[in-house]
Structure 1
Amino acid sequence: MSDALINGLAGAGGGIIAQLITYPLQTVNTRQQTDRDPKKEKKKAGTVEQMYQVVQHEGWGRLYGGLTPSLVGTACSQGVYYYFYQIFRSKAEATALRRKKEGAGDGSVGMLSSLMVAAMSGCVNVLLTNPIWVVVTRMQTHTKKSPSNKVEPIVGGNEPPPFGTSNAVQEVFDEAGVWGFWKGVFPTLVMVSNPSIQFMLYETLLKNLKQRRALSNSNKGVTALEVFLLGALAKLGATVVTYPLLVVKSRLQAKQVIGVDKKHQYKGTLDAILKMIRYEGFHGFYKGMSTKIVQSVLAAAVLFMVKEELVNGARWLLLKEAAKSKLS
């Protein structure tokens, strides 16, 4: 099994576990990002209160709306990302070693090269998986509406009308055809800088930690807790920088309500940005940011920790099998 495949499968496994743990926060955050009602701004509810409101009015299941396609999307995204990341990373490392032999550089992959590797991996991932995330956004933002267009509380334990993956797919197709599944792809491609910054920070922090250990002649390896903390710090930095693009992407991928004020309808990325600046101000680009920071930092930390453990476990098993083969 190749190192790229091991990293791809480990990334998919880590992503699924992180998604299961943090999904309710993700659902609430998507609703915060796509909320365009100025009246709600005046009586803004906290994350926990909003989660309670979703449960009270729509049932527990709505906190996990779109979970199935989201898990599929997470597995695909992480698998694709880590697979191509490892391939591009290996080529970058080979180039660095070749340059060292030629008398240029120290043989290590620099910060700029790490950024380029992460960016290329992210672009491939976005182009292949964007349709899945459009469907997930539709399912996360779908609410039980009354004829007056108000969310009604659940009475007697009745669940909201079913709105599954097939419903979301049909809704997107009816609204914009096949190209509707690539809504928000431009800001998402620009947002490739998020994992690029994240992995650049993570690998820089990890490299510095290992160098300090080497200088102090310590044989202690990097622990799972340290990987967790490094992953959290890296994701925090990346999220703060790129959050406005995430809000624009969610606005574009959410259902465009026909017959309402045109300031709430977006023709494209630039139109969305201009209307948000005009009608909501710059603070509109940071709606739900506190929720996102908690969700994304926790998810990234869990992902890095689980992925590293899975990679180490897989390599250990392969070495064990190789040793058995030699003995036999």
Structure 2
Amino acid sequence: MSNALVNGLAGAGGGMIAQIITYPLQTVNTRQQTERIAKKTSLAAAASGGDLSSSEAAPSSAGGTIYQILQLFKMEGWGGLYSGLKPSLVGTAASQGIYYYFYQVLKNEAEAAAAARKKKGLGDGTVGMFSWLVVAAIAGSLNVLLTNPIWVLVTRMQTHTQAERKIMEARKEAILREFAGTTYMEHELVKLDLMKPRPYGTFHAVREVYHEAGIKGFWKGLIPTLIMVCNPSIQFMIYETSLKHLRSKRTGTKHGDKNVTALEVFLLGALAKLGATLATYPLLVVKSRLQAKQEIGRNAMSRYTGTGDAILKMIRYEGLRGFYKGMGTKIVQSVFAASVLFMVKEEFVKAFIFIADERKKHRLKSGK
């Protein structure tokens, strides 16, 4: 089995485990990112005849992340916390498998090219930072193009209840305006309160996306997602550089041990993901806004026709702080998930290599 395939399988397994552990944080974070909260100047404009409703003027989810997780569990149970988990696991396995496979293939090529340059007297035979960035960027771009439809569905499923709530609020407001003070109004409001959320699975999400925008709807948010390829590029640059530095220091010890422990890989993964997340978070918010159901933003100010429209409206109505909504939650989720992923992946790689070596030894003994 090639080392590229081993790394692909290990990455897929590590990604799925990390996803299961941190998924409730991801669900809450996606809802935080897609919630529209206007800045004060926009609220003033709305009060004087603008198009911002009161339901979007105030946050729907107060308190910290832990409080929001508990509230979500109270209102929707485990189904709410893990909404969209199945396609997310498929997406994680596909994304990590594709990414790590192509990353390892390209990494092998980069290392071979560096070794060839050293033979010619150019360089020290190691891969530089820029090369790591290029390798990670190409692998990331291939991953995004192939798996974006899965993440559109996951975002829809994570924010479905949020969108349904907005629809219900809009209906209540319409009834209150049209039938204020009548028995019919009370009857309709009671009916709305008794209505249960519609069942919403992967098939429903597929049908909804296709109905809204056709095939191209499955590639919503592609532009910011492609730009966000720099996230894993930065992440892997920091990770590989730190790992290389740590191993070079180990070479100088009396034991000459270049191996790193699982805990050290965990900490290096956390450091790498933290740096990448801080640099690219605004793009993640824009991507989530584009992929979510547009009913989350019922008014013109929070409905987007594309990446540029989303950025301009967010700057105008929410200010720069809108690009960093839920960032604290994302840092905790992504850093922890990346740390688990790197640690589990490395252990899987070691296990694959150990099994392969044992099989080789067994075949040699059998041959004798």
- TM-score of Structure 1 vs Structure 2, range by shorter chain: over 0.9
Look up the match of 1:322: 360
Q: How does 1:85-100 map to 2 (within 5 A)?
A: 85-100=103-118
Larger radius of gyration: 2
Q: Determine if the alignment matches structure 1 residue 270 to structure 2 residue 291.
A: no
Aligned residue type for 1:246: L
Partner of 1:27: 27
For 1:79-111, what per-residue CA distance to the aligned partner results, in whole angstroms no more than 9, with x for missing partners? Answer: 000000011111111110111111101111111
1:183-214 deviations in whole A, cap 9, x for unaligned? Answer: 00000000000000000000111111111111
Equivalence for 1:114: 132
Alignment partner for residue 190 of structure 1, among 205, 227, 239?
227
Specify the alignment match of 1:155 in structure 2: none
Partners of 1:232 and 1:323 lie apart in 2 by 37
Contact 1:59 1:159 survives alignment (8 Å): no
1:164 aligns with 2:201: yes
CA positional deviation for 1:53: 1.8
Structure 1 stretch 236-245 or stretch 141-150: which is displaced more? 141-150
| Deviation, structure 1 residue 57 | 2.2
CA distance in structure 2 between the aligned counterparts of 1:198 and 1:180, rounded to whole angstroms = 29
CA contact (8 A) 1:58 1:160 kept: no
Change (3 A) 1:60 1:150: farther
TM-score, structure 2 normalization:
0.84
Q: Which moved more, 1:174-183 or 1:140-149?
A: 140-149
User: How many angstroms apart in 2 are the aligned matches of 1:258 and 1:36?
Assistant: 8
AA at the equivalent of 1:193: C
SS at match of 2:260: coil
Structure 2, unaligned stretches of length 5 or more? 39-56, 173-188, 190-194
CA apart distance, 1:41? 4.1
Residues 221 and 290 in structure 2, CA contact (< 8 A), matched pair in contact too: yes
Change (3 A) 1:7 1:321: same
Which stretch has the larger CA shift, 233-242 or 215-224? 215-224
Within a 5 Å distance, the mapping from 1:1-328 to structure 2 comes to: 1-38=1-38, 39-41=57-59, 44-143=62-161, 144-145=164-165, 147-149=168-170, 160-220=197-257, 221-257=259-295, 260-328=298-366
Residue 48 of structure 1, CA deviation: 1.0
Residues 43 and 114 of structure 1: CA distance in aligned 2, closer, same or farther (over 3 Å): closer
**Partners of 1:290 and 1:281 in 2: CA distance:** 18
- Cα separation, 2, equivalents of 1:139 and 1:42: 18
Q: Aligned-pair distance for 1:149?
A: 4.7
CA-based RMSD of the aligned residues comes to 2.0
Size of the aligned set, in residue pairs, is: 323
Return closer, same or farther for 1:162/1:258 CA change in 2, 3 Å cut-off: closer
- Displacement of 1:31: 0.2
1:148 deviation in Å? Answer: 3.4
Whether the 8 Å contact between 2:141 and 2:229 is mirrored in structure 1 is yes
Following TM superposition, by how much is the alpha carbon of 1:43 offset from its aligned partner in structure 2, in angstroms? 7.5
Deviation of residue 246 (structure 1)? 0.2
Q: Distance in 1 between matches of 2:346 and 2:91?
A: 21
Pick which of 43-52 and 304-313 moved more: 43-52
Task: Work out the CA distance in 1 between the residues paired with 2:37 and 2:79.
Answer: 24
Distance in 1 of aligned mates of 2:102 and 2:94 = 12
Letter in 2 for 1:101: K
Relative distance call for 1:290 and 1:147 in structure 2 (3 A) is closer
What is the letter of the counterpart of residue 125 of structure 2?
Answer: G
- Percent identical pairs in the alignment equals 64
Q: Residues 59 and 161 (structure 1 numbering): CA distance in 2 closer, same or farther, change over 3 Å?
A: farther
Q: Deviations over 1:210-238 (max 9, x none)?
A: 11111233444210000000000000000
Matching residue's letter, 2:141: C
Letter in 1 for 2:333: Q
1:39-91: CA deviation from partner (whole Å, max 9, x where unpaired): 33498421111112212222221110000000000000000000000111111
Distance of 1:43 and 1:62 partners within structure 2: 15
8 Å Cα contact 1:66/1:164 also seen in 2: yes
State TM-score, norm by structure 1: 0.94
TM superposition outliers: structure 1 runs of 4+ over 4 Å: 149-152
Aligned equivalents of 2:261, 2:289: Cα separation in 1: 39
* Greater mean deviation of Cα atoms: 138-147 or 71-80: 138-147
Q: Partner of 2:63: helix, strand, or coil?
A: coil
Residues in 2 aligned to 1:254 and 1:41: alpha-carbon distance in whole angstroms: 17
Cα deviation 1:274-302 (Å, max 9, x = unaligned) = 11000000010000000000000000000
Preserved CA contact (<8 Å) 2:36 2:297: no
Q: Given residue 169 of structure 2, which amino acid in structure 1 is its aligned partner?
A: S
